[in-house]
Amino acid sequence: MPNFSGKRIMVIGGSRGIGAAIVKAYAAEGGDVLFTYAGSREAAEALAKSTGARAIHSDAAVRDSLVAAVRDAGPIDIFVYNAGLLVAGDPLTLDPDAIDRMIDVNIRGAYHASVEAARAMPDGGRILIIGSVNGDRMPFAGLAGYAMTKSALQGMARGLARDFGARGITVNVIQPGPTDTDMNPANGPLADQMHSVMAIREHGTSEDVASLTLYLSGPAARGITGAMHTIDGGFGA
């Protein structure tokens, strides 16, 4: 793993799951880490205490609060947008407000926060967005809205890679498959269905996703940009 001493790193949505694993991994490699949370204050405070990272309360669905949190962080070397919601069900009966909140967190927040992070980012910086293999493949009913949000991130990353490439800033999407978290527990009711379409029939871990994130943040990845990096046990194969 690269060492991140002297690097300021911000993770949007870092209190639990994949985001928390990413916070821990950067902190373990010497990074100066800030992360945001919305609902999980206790988890965020515990993570801050155990890692030395700084926890900031900011709802990623509220643009002004999110942009202010990013701006107030000062120049960020590595920016990770992990916050995400999953709203599943019959599109004919799902609450449209829940779908709109998911769009706010998964797409609008990712765009506005990434642009704000790039504003003061030093040359050679990194922007990493946690998308999903569902941006490429959606083999189950009930997840059209979620898949839509994750596909949108692909176009965003390709475009921002062009916008910021002259400064040596890379923009990439990491696309996990089923990963054992509160959002998608390895022993949840849909686990068998998910495993049935995978080459490696088990959930991945948040630490797996964090490892890929750190690799893409390091100096060896300076030529990787505008790309999707799938880590899904063959879900999309």
The residue within the footprint of ligand NDP, chosen from 8, 9, 10, 18 (CB under 6 A), is 18
Stretch of residues binding ligand NDP (CB under 6 A), selected from 119-127, 137-145, 171-179, 212-220? 171-179
146 is an active site residue: yes
The residue within the footprint of ligand NDP, chosen from 183, 186, 224, 227 (CB under 6 A), is 183
**CB distance 85 to 106 below 8 Å:** yes
Q: What is the DSSP letter of 83?
A: -
- What whole-number distance in Å separates Cα of residue 52 and Cα of residue 229? 29
Minimum distance, C-beta of residue 6 to ligand NDP, in the bound complex (Å): 26
The residue within the footprint of ligand NDP, chosen from 53, 83, 113, 153 (CB under 6 A), is 83
51 binds ligand NDP (CB under 6 A): no
Q: What is the DSSP letter of 53?
A: P
**CB distance 82 to 60 below 8 Å:** no
236 binds ligand NDP (CB under 6 A): no
182 binds ligand NDP (CB under 6 A): yes
Stretch of residues binding ligand NDP (CB under 6 A), selected from 77-85, 91-99, 118-126, 222-230? 77-85
Residues from 97 through 156 that contact ligand NDP (CB under 6 A): 105, 130, 132
213 binds ligand NDP (CB under 6 A): no
> How many chain residues touch ligand NDP (CB under 6 A)?
31
Stretch of residues binding ligand NDP (CB under 6 A), selected from 82-90, 113-121, 158-166, 213-221? 82-90
List of long-range contacts for 33-42, beta carbons under 8 Å, 24+ apart: 33/9, 34/8, 34/9, 34/10, 34/73, 35/10, 35/11, 36/10, 36/11, 36/12, 36/60, 36/66, 36/69, 36/83, 37/13, 38/13, 38/83, 39/15, 40/15, 40/16
List of long-range contacts for 158-161, beta carbons under 8 Å, 24+ apart: 158/226, 160/114, 160/115, 160/118, 160/127, 161/225, 161/226, 161/227
Check 81, 111, 146, 215 and give the catalytic one: 146
State the residues that interact with ligand NDP by CB under 6 A.
Answer: 13-19, 36-40, 44, 59-61, 82-86, 105, 130, 132, 176, 178-179, 181-184
Active site members: 146
